[in-house]
Structure 1
């Protein structure tokens, strides 16, 4: 009888932990999410011109991690191939998340400071597009692209299970960092190391 009451409580606690604002420090581990494209150790090798490994920005090889399309919170089409060849910060956030709001200013500063040297892209989820647009406006983060991922397709592609989470890719598309950076602290140093 006791097992019947403990199992639902344990499941509820696990669900809450997965959906709450992230608070754990990230790791630099690679390969934790199985076959996730963000874990690729080298660019995809496919015939040029295809979405998988074809020419991206200025004819660069496109790694598997960047072979997806999406729509921005403003309703514009977005092709991740345009990110190829530069280090990329993917910032996964939710409009109602206070931790995400706390990361906004530092993330926008990094986007401005490394414009032309690195890509910064917000990936909004876990809410409706209207709330995502309001977050971008309220936090002053409109200087860089934000994807509207209402269906969670991009989140799932990168194995993301919590908001306020960063994934950093090097020039080849290899994941070199993933985790939570409270207040965005340390993001600038990580991007500097990738652009150095």
Structure 2
């Protein structure tokens, strides 16, 4: 009897995850509250995506740590003082794959003025690494969020979702940008 109860719930959860790919409701909120997400505490390592000023005050939004898909520790405090794009994606998501080129283009165009960080979830780290290699998005850091801690922190409930923070860590945009269209304009608005 228990199996009959669990199976429909598991199927519903799987369908919900699949229907989130490419949906454009942008309804999740991001208040930036929550505890640290990992034990790692050192900077982004070789993927320094234009980390913020050492003197910048670190907003609560950026008080979390994680590990990159290539196994390096990542401390979000290094993002303080500059606008930041958090791109939440899943390796099996075709919408996410369609956003990769534009996201990488924006990361390169705003290097040193804004941070771009991928937050991969909903799969295993090996699939995340393959996605980064296949899409050519290795020029900026990608967090391996297999347990969904960063996703929970920003209350993201679907993949292919952007959260854009201003230099003070305040959310200025969140939602889906099909194909990444409009990302450059949104980043331009927060970089001045």
Maintained 8 Å contact 1:57/1:81: no
Aligned to 1:150: 146
> Do structure 1's residue 26 and structure 2's residue 26 form an aligned pair?
yes
1:125-164 pair list within 5 angstroms: 125-164=121-160
Change (3 A) 1:96 1:15: closer
The whole-number CA distance in structure 2 between the counterparts of 1:87 and 1:125 is: 22
Aligned equivalents of 1:189, 1:25: Cα separation in 2: 20
2:162 to 166, 169, 185: 166
Q: Where in structure 2 are the equivalents of 1:1-196 lying within 5 Å?
A: 16-20=15-19, 21-24=21-24, 26=26, 33=29, 36-37=31-32, 57-196=53-192
1:87·1:194 contact (CA, 8 Å) conserved in 2? yes
TM-score norm. by structure 1 comes to: 0.79
Aligned partners of 2:29 and 2:156 also within 8 Å = no
| Pairs aligned (count) | 168
Report the equivalent of 2:37. Answer: none
**Cα RMSD, aligned residues only:** 2.3
1:52 is matched with none
Task: Sort the Cα spacing of 1:132 and 1:11 in 2 relative to 1 into closer, same or farther, 3 A.
Answer: closer
Gaps of 5+ in 1: 1-7, 39-55
SS of alignment partner, residue 82 of structure 2 = coil
Task: Compare CA radii of gyration and give the structure with the larger one.
Answer: 1
Tell me the CA shift for residue 16 of structure 1: 2.4
Gaps of 5+ in 2: 1-6, 34-51
Q: Deviations over 1:51-109 (max 9, x none)?
A: xxxxx741211001100000000000000000000000000000000000000000000
